Structure 1
Amino acid sequence: MAAMRTLQICGVSPTGKHSASVIFLHGSGDSGQGLRAWVRDVMVPDLAFSHIRVIYPTAPARPYTPMRGAISTVWFDRYKISPHCPEHLESIDVMCNTLGSIIQDEVAAGIPKNRIVIGGFSMGGAMALHLACRYHPDVAGVFALSTFLNKDSVAFQSVEEQIRAGLSLPELFQCHGTSDDLVLHQWGEATSMLLKKAGMTTAFHSFQGLHHQLSQPEMELLRSWILNKLPLSTSS
């Protein structure tokens, strides 16, 4: 087996005792530092907590087929950006294993998996869905902002299989702007509906006038959802 890559990470430490973690994945072509700076610009005062560490990894640079093989920081490859084409499962699964090492590092630091939330923006949200639905269904929750999955995604099949086996799955929090490309908004909403049909608990929020970007109202809603999933523990 090939050696697992070590990802660059930046993070925001809690102001008090660390008892929960959020892993927040950037969109294609961005970086952990870039997403962290964007969040800080959008939110007042910041996506920071007294007890939750927020972790922003950076995807490794790799050739990206939709950019004609140009090198970009992307979580996985795509044959093309279309809901109807197959997923590039090899690159998705390799990155699920790599990101799993961050989860295991948090567990080794004393954070139970049911005190970890995984999420992301755009491609980062899709990566988070694969990670949570297929590899780590025992995390506290998963969020996806301006995100979509291919219509025959193996994530849908994995949810159905786990529901049939009587296993629990994390709750999904999903947001999308109505002024994003119309196809992308519809694609994102269809992703939420297909995951719900497969048996996952989902919540989809549309933001009027929002393009393919973050907004303060969206992030404030996300903050509230995170605190609901990862409340301050009595031992913190």
Structure 2
Amino acid sequence: MSNTLECIVVEPRTPATAAVIWLHGLGDSGAGFAPVVPALGLPSDHSIRFIFPHAPEQAVTINAGYVMRAWYDIKSMDLHDRADMQGVIASEASVKALINAQIAAGIPSERIVLAGFSQGGVMSLFSGLRFEQKLAGIMALSCYLPTGDVLPAQLSPENAQTPILQQHGIQDDVVPLSAGILAKEALMAGGYKVQWQTYPMPHSVIPAQLKDISQWLLQCFEM
């Protein structure tokens, strides 16, 4: 898998001093989440660049081998054997390349938030916890830890105190609420600063949630 991903980039009106890298869910693309930028209702003079990468296409086992955009193969619905870890590691390299590209473009790592929904949230958690430089925050929406109820190996001490926003729908029938709770409990047991929020929704994103995300982003970037 190439580490270079195609992306949709939404620039702020003023020169960017911060960045959000937002990873989509299984079968979606960066275009699926790009419309959230105006929906967040951020101040008009915010200086946050939003990057929405497209996952590569690959066969997905639980979908009868159908080829779709995916960050990794999903082998089964069993949480402890769901994620193909070889694929997770490969996508992590692509995510790290995206972060490093922003750093090279002049955005310090501590001004970068790694975000994701569903499979993308799995990748934001896994990659953010292991990234070797301090991040501004990690956002994990409607997702789980690829390692089940334990934290990944090779955790980065630089992100041990990084704010983590975890949100989940209580009616989620794709990624059960219990999977998100297992991740939250593992993170909190590991000493991470987790803000946990639930919403009366299925496997989706709703306006009330976007309002909370907006407030959290402004706190991360101290805007």
Give TM-score, length-normalised by structure 1: 0.85
How much has 1:98 moved relative to structure 2?
Answer: 1.2
Q: In 1, Cα distance between the equivalents of 2:183 and 2:201?
A: 19
Cα shift readout 1:81-131 (whole Å, capped 9, x = no counterpart): 221226422111111111211111111111110000001111110010111
Which structure 1 residue ranges, 5 or more long, are not aligned?
none
In structure 2, the partner of 1:179 is 171
In structure 1, the partner of 2:96 is 100
Q: In 2, Cα distance between the equivalents of 1:47 and 1:211?
A: 29
Matching residue's letter, 1:179: Q
Q: 1:13 and 2:5 equivalent?
A: no
Q: 1:198 and 2:223 equivalent?
A: no
* Aligned with residue 62 of structure 1, among 58, 63, 77: 58
In structure 1, the partner of 2:20 is 22
Cα shift readout 1:170-206 (whole Å, capped 9, x = no counterpart): 2210111111129711111121111111221111101
Q: In 1, Cα distance between the equivalents of 2:96 and 2:43?
A: 23
Q: In 1, Cα distance between the equivalents of 2:68 and 2:49?
A: 27
Residues matched between the structures, number? 223
Q: In 2, Cα distance between the equivalents of 1:139 and 1:44?
A: 21
Q: 1:49 to 1:95 in 2, by over 3 A?
A: farther
1:137–1:169 Cα contact (<8 Å) kept: no
Matching residue's letter, 2:185: M
1:17–1:51 Cα contact (<8 Å) kept: yes
Q: 1:227 and 2:223 equivalent?
A: no
Q: Could you say what secondary structure the match of 1:110 adopts?
A: coil
Q: In 1, Cα distance between the equivalents of 2:174 and 2:61?
A: 23
In structure 1, the partner of 2:204 is 213
Aligned-pair identity (%): 28
1:63–1:72 Cα contact (<8 Å) kept: yes
Cα shift readout 1:113-157 (whole Å, capped 9, x = no counterpart): 000000111111001011101234511110011111245466444
Matching residue's letter, 1:229: C
How much has 1:16 moved relative to structure 2?
Answer: 1.0
2:41–2:211 Cα contact (<8 Å) kept: no
Matching residue's letter, 1:231: E
1:96–1:135 Cα contact (<8 Å) kept: no
Q: 1:12 to 1:167 in 2, by over 3 A?
A: closer
How much has 1:80 moved relative to structure 2?
Answer: 1.2
Q: 1:153 to 1:194 in 2, by over 3 A?
A: closer
In structure 2, the partner of 1:34 is 32
2:75–2:81 Cα contact (<8 Å) kept: yes
2:85–2:146 Cα contact (<8 Å) kept: no
Give TM-score, length-normalised by structure 2: 0.90
Q: 1:16 to 1:40 in 2, by over 3 A?
A: closer
How much has 1:48 moved relative to structure 2?
Answer: 7.5
Which structure 2 residue ranges, 5 or more long, are not aligned?
none
Q: 1:154 to 1:194 in 2, by over 3 A?
A: closer
